Amino acid sequence: MSQITKEPVTLAVQLEKNLKKDSFSTVLANFTPVVLTPPLPQETLLDTFAKLAALAHSNDYLNHQAENLSDLNKSVLEKIYHYGVSPKIINQRQVNILNRKTGIDYPTINPDEISIFNSPITNPQGADLGTRMDLFGQIVDQVLEKTYPTNTLAPDDIIHVSCSGYLAPSPVEKMVSQRHWSTTVTHSYHMGCYGSIPALRMATGFLAASHYGLGKPKQQIDIIHTEFLTLHVNLTSLTPRDILAMTLFGDGFIKYSIYPLKEVLSQKSSGLKVLALKEAIIPNSLAEMLWNLSSHNFEMILSKKIPFLIRDNILVFVEELMSEIGLEFAKEKNKLVFAIHPGGPKIIEFIQRSLKIAPEQVAFSHEILTQFGNMSSATLPYIWDKILSAKEIPSGTLVLSIAFGPGLTAAGAIMEKL
Amino acid sequence: MSQITKEPVTLAVQLEKNLKKDSFSTVLANFTPVVLTPPLPQETLLDTFAKLAALAHSNDYLNHQAENLSDLNKSVLEKIYHYGVSPKIINQRQVNILNRKTGIDYPTINPDEISIFNSPITNPQGADLGTRMDLFGQIVDQVLEKTYPTNTLAPDDIIHVSCSGYLAPSPVEKMVSQRHWSTTVTHSYHMGCYGSIPALRMATGFLAASHYGLGKPKQQIDIIHTEFLTLHVNLTSLTPRDILAMTLFGDGFIKYSIYPLKEVLSQKSSGLKVLALKEAIIPNSLAEMLWNLSSHNFEMILSKKIPFLIRDNILVFVEELMSEIGLEFAKEKNKLVFAIHPGGPKIIEFIQRSLKIAPEQVAFSHEILTQFGNMSSATLPYIWDKILSAKEIPSGTLVLSIAFGPGLTAAGAIMEKL
């Protein structure tokens, strides 16, 4: 990692000159990732979903085809291995649609244990949306129990980020109600993989407004991401893009807090100081990524063009983001560490090449993808957590984050490691 | 309205002393309500929904009952008139699930013209959720065409508020993309009837953060509410609470802008200056109101206890809200004008009695309910628009707003009419 630690302190000093002296700054700290059930090996998951998908297609098959069932199984498995994300890229994922009683990992999964697909032959679409939302609520209740142990002090606000489950009252509102907290809860829903950036905009805004006269000055805003993406698996369609979605996404849960800078400095704590946040819609890309509700699940449409659209637009976006703090990307890029949302297997490489940066600078994105899959909005915070605790990344280093979602929306942040 | 205009200027002067001198203030202005299709008389709607609901129940009826179809029609109509909101309380509503080719009002509606229920006998549940979301997109596209005519200047941000339709990309993102605007779009979804208050928190926060160093100082943030609530009508259930929902909600669309105070003062424009925003969850009320996704529509559960829970908790909430700007509610209440979200037929009266305020002080809430029904999050902005343009409400008057939603969440705002 030697390349990325060059002169970080000089950079921070240079930066200090560009920023207004009286500006209000906020800091992210206290990252708490929650792994509710141990991640399962990607190979196990590919096999399991192939078995389930074969069962879901067996009715069509029995009515219309001459082959036998084991041939169907084999052909589905081949298709899933061909179009799916390989175990080299995603080693394991957290999957909470399994009815596992224990947390113990095991090599084979009985399809009967897949809660939303308990009779794939007769009901290939699986549980309807209402049932899946109920399961979302149950799982997130468990996440909150772990994230907010008894006697946790109430934060001023909690921003609940999700693109996978919408309930009202939400599990977060339930918790706040049961604990008689005066915490304000805000839903930050349906923004997809870039969801952490609008949440940071909200948190920074809520703190800034409160410190400049709107109510009492707030001291702590929590952001919690609950992305239960495997809830939306669809077995009835086996197009390449559906297989990609089935093999790419993992469940991800993580909480962190945003504080006014003064608060963090007085406690000499570490954290990530927010310097710039930016979102922009990439032109002529409206139809390339969709995330919409249907009767049984939320449906994702991912076109093959996405990596290329990102490749062709990312440099300008990153240059504009850097210019928000008065820095030239070309001059500074070798000193930066990157948090790139691994939208798909190719995204990190494409961005790395477009920005002409070193593989070491994007290592954390690879690491999280390999260990957890694409956790939608929870992914960047997992990467931030790694960067904050990495001893080889010194204080003063700037962290440049990028994520994408429907629009196509590109979202970015620059933060300084304190 | 003489009661509420007493000493408003004195109140504003007193208030000035309580607030910090260097505080950052924002102002709401330029309200643009959009009525896509002329509201229809409540009587017409009660008759139409009764006819549709009778058709939706005719299969059950034909299989199990001895009465004839006209008896069924009659009994459903009686039930809907008994439990539904009467035309005295809601005179008319905007309903965009009708396939009307023209904007002309007419006294009877053919059930075939109800786009999501075109075969209620064989398919009583109507269109599935995906189809309804597509219709949401089409209707909101039309709303945006009217709200943002060609050559509209791009605002810095648009906050899209809805609890009735979630698409990604959203219609707002589509518009921003097609116009090549650099506007940042934020989804503020699934918060229900109190949704305007979190949207104001976000807008005020985005402005405050930008003026204190996070990016370039922003000048204009638009908030647009698109509540297409009739999209979620369910004909299969005729419990009192379902009939209430079917006869209470109207579609509502409205846009307005938030500016930094300085901007508005320099142009001597009118507007509503934001002084306080507050949300709180009423204890022991989690199960009383739910708003959740299902396979065919979003389902609302409203218990009979809601008006009583609001009645018993509203005074303390309003006192706390007033104390945020250093005022005592009891002392000031006769000088205030109220924007009370008319959640149900009884809500305005219950609050008026609990707060011991005059009927004149809540007149705008009654007016909007009568003319448009409950438009969820769009309702308070419709009331604000009326108050802002009402000549009998002088500058300096404080406007106290209250709305409710699942949680039960109580949300409130205090604004000063400029």
Nearest CA in chain A to B199: A186
Whether B212 and A168 lie within 8 Å, measured CB to CB: no
Residue B101 has pLDDT above 70, yes or no: no
More confident residue, B107 or B37: B37
Residue A365 has pLDDT above 80, yes or no: yes
Residue A385 banded pLDDT, cuts 50, 70, 90: very high
- Residue B405 CA neighbour count, 13 Å, CB half: 32
Encode A316-336: b = buried (16+ Cβ within 10 Å), e = exposed: ebbebbbebbebebeebbebb
Residue A107 has pLDDT above 50, yes or no: no
Q: If DSSP codes are grouped into helix, strand and coil, which group holds residue B65?
A: coil
Question: Are A335 and A7 spatial neighbours (Cβ–Cβ below 8 Å)?
Answer: yes
More confident residue, A181 or A67: A181
Question: What's the CA angle centered on B406, arms B400 and B409, to 5 degrees?
Answer: 40
Domain boundaries, chain B: 2-21+275-413
Whether A168 and B290 lie within 8 Å, measured CB to CB: yes
With pLDDT > 90 as the criterion, what percentage of chain A qualifies? 76
Residue B129 CA to residue B137 CA, distance in Å, equals 12
Nearest CA in chain B to A179: B283
Residue A356 region by backbone torsions, left for phi larger than 0, else alpha for psi between -120 and 50, else beta: left
Q: Tell me how close the Cα of B286 comes to any Cα of chain A, in angstroms.
A: 7
Cis peptide bond prior to A231, omega within 30° of 0:
no
Q: What is the pLDDT of residue A102?
A: 40
Residue B227 has pLDDT above 70, yes or no: yes
Across the interface, which of A168, A182, A207 has its CB nearest the CB of B291?
A168
Residues on chain B touching A184 (C-beta within 8 angstroms): 201, 279-280
**pLDDT tens figures, A37-81:** 889 999 999 998 898 888 888 876 555 554 677 788 889 999 999
**pLDDT tens figures, B148-161:** 999 999 999 999 99
Which residues, in sequence order, are bridge partners of residue A161? A188, A225
**What integer is the mean pLDDT of B298-310?**
94
Residues on chain B touching A209 (C-beta within 8 angstroms): 24, 201, 204-205, 207-209
**pLDDT tens figures, A333-359:** 999 999 999 999 899 999 999 999 999
Residue B58 banded pLDDT, cuts 50, 70, 90: confident
Residue A286 has pLDDT above 90, yes or no: yes
Is A280 part of the contact surface with chain B (CB cutoff 8 Å)? yes
**What integer is the mean pLDDT of B164-179?**
98
Whether B168 and A406 lie within 8 Å, measured CB to CB: yes
Residues on chain A touching B407 (C-beta within 8 angstroms): 168-169, 173, 177, 185
**What integer is the mean pLDDT of A204-223?**
95
Is A173 part of the contact surface with chain B (CB cutoff 8 Å)? yes
Q: How does DSSP classify residue B123?
A: -
Residue A370 has pLDDT above 80, yes or no: yes
**What integer is the mean pLDDT of A364-373?**
98
Q: What is the pLDDT of residue B57?
A: 84
* Least confident window among A22-26, A205-209, A380-384, B126-130: A22-26
Three-state secondary structure string covering B40-64? EEHHHHHHHHHHHHHHHHHHHHHHH
Encode B332-371: b = buried (16+ Cβ within 10 Å), e = exposed: bbebbbbbbbbbbbbbbbbbbeebebeeebbbbbbebbbb
Whether A24 and B209 lie within 8 Å, measured CB to CB: yes
Residue B185 CA to residue B162 CA, distance in Å, equals 13
Is A276 part of the contact surface with chain B (CB cutoff 8 Å)? yes
Question: What's the CA angle centered on A395, arms A389 and A397, to 5 degrees?
Answer: 95
Is B326 part of the contact surface with chain A (CB cutoff 8 Å)? no
Q: Which residues 21-50 of A have a C-beta within 8 angstroms of B? A: 22-25
Is A184 part of the contact surface with chain B (CB cutoff 8 Å)? yes
Nearest CA in chain B to A127: B295
Q: What is the pLDDT of residue A173?
A: 98
Whether A128 and B184 lie within 8 Å, measured CB to CB: no
User: Class assignment of domain B2-21+275-413?
Assistant: alpha beta
Q: What is the pLDDT of residue A64?
A: 54
Q: Tell me how close the Cα of A25 comes to any Cα of chain B, in angstroms.
A: 8
Which residues, in sequence order, are bridge partners of residue B92? B41
Whether A187 and B185 lie within 8 Å, measured CB to CB: no
Residue A189 banded pLDDT, cuts 50, 70, 90: very high
More confident residue, A161 or A268: A161
Residues on chain B touching A291 (C-beta within 8 angstroms): 168
Query: For chain A, percent helix, then strand, then coil, each to nearest 5?
Result: 45, 20, 35
Three-state secondary structure string covering B241-266? HHHHHHHHECCEEEEEEEEEHHHHHH
Residue B61 banded pLDDT, cuts 50, 70, 90: low
Is B125 part of the contact surface with chain A (CB cutoff 8 Å)? no
Q: What is the pLDDT of residue B52?
A: 86
Question: Are B376 and B20 spatial neighbours (Cβ–Cβ below 8 Å)?
Answer: no
Residue B1 has pLDDT above 60, yes or no: no
Q: What is the pLDDT of residue A369?
A: 98
Q: Tell me how close the Cα of A355 comes to any Cα of chain B, in angstroms.
A: 22
Which residues, in sequence order, are bridge partners of residue B279? B411
Is A292 part of the contact surface with chain B (CB cutoff 8 Å)? yes
Structure tokens, B86: 């009467």
Residue B55 banded pLDDT, cuts 50, 70, 90: confident
Whether A293 and B166 lie within 8 Å, measured CB to CB: yes
**pLDDT tens figures, B376-391:** 999 999 999 999 999 9
**What integer is the mean pLDDT of B312-317?**
97
| Residue A258 CA, distance from chain mean position | 18
Which residues, in sequence order, are bridge partners of residue A259? A27
Residue B129 CA to residue B116 CA, distance in Å, equals 10
Q: What DSSP string describes A199-267? A: HHHHHHHHHHHHHTTSSSPP--EEEEEEE-GGGG--SS--SHHHHHHHHHB--EEEEEEEEEHHHHHHT
Q: What is the pLDDT of residue A266?
A: 81
Is A357 part of the contact surface with chain B (CB cutoff 8 Å)? no
Nearest CA in chain B to A165: B293
With pLDDT > 70 as the criterion, what percentage of chain A qualifies? 89
Q: What is the pLDDT of residue A60?
A: 65
Question: Are A246 and A219 spatial neighbours (Cβ–Cβ below 8 Å)?
Answer: no
Cis peptide bond prior to A169, omega within 30° of 0:
yes
Is B198 part of the contact surface with chain A (CB cutoff 8 Å)? yes
Question: Are A64 and A122 spatial neighbours (Cβ–Cβ below 8 Å)?
Answer: no
User: Class assignment of domain A2-22+270-417?
Assistant: alpha beta
Report CA torsion sign: A14, A17, A20, A22: positive
Residue B394 banded pLDDT, cuts 50, 70, 90: very high
Residue A251 has pLDDT above 80, yes or no: yes
Size of interface A-B (CB pairs under 8 A): 224
Structure tokens, A348: 């990190």
**What integer is the mean pLDDT of A10-25?**
66
What count of residues does chain A have? Answer: 418
Residue B20 has pLDDT above 90, yes or no: no
Structural Rg of chain A based on CA atoms: 22
Q: What is the pLDDT of residue A276?
A: 97
Q: What is the pLDDT of residue A1?
A: 40
Tell me the pLDDT of chain A averaged across its residues. Answer: 90
Which residues, in sequence order, are bridge partners of residue B277? B413
Is A213 part of the contact surface with chain B (CB cutoff 8 Å)? yes
Whether A23 and B213 lie within 8 Å, measured CB to CB: yes
Q: What DSSP string describes B194-205? A: GTHHHHHHHHHH
Residue A106 banded pLDDT, cuts 50, 70, 90: very low
Q: What is the pLDDT of residue A19?
A: 57
Which of A184, A291, A376 would you mutate first to test chain B, the one with the most B CBs within 10 A? A184
Residue A167 has pLDDT above 90, yes or no: yes
Is B217 part of the contact surface with chain A (CB cutoff 8 Å)? no
Pairing state between β B157-162 and B221-227: parallel
Report CA torsion sign: A317, A321, A324, A327: negative
Whether A129 and B294 lie within 8 Å, measured CB to CB: yes
**pLDDT tens figures, A112-125:** 667 788 777 888 89
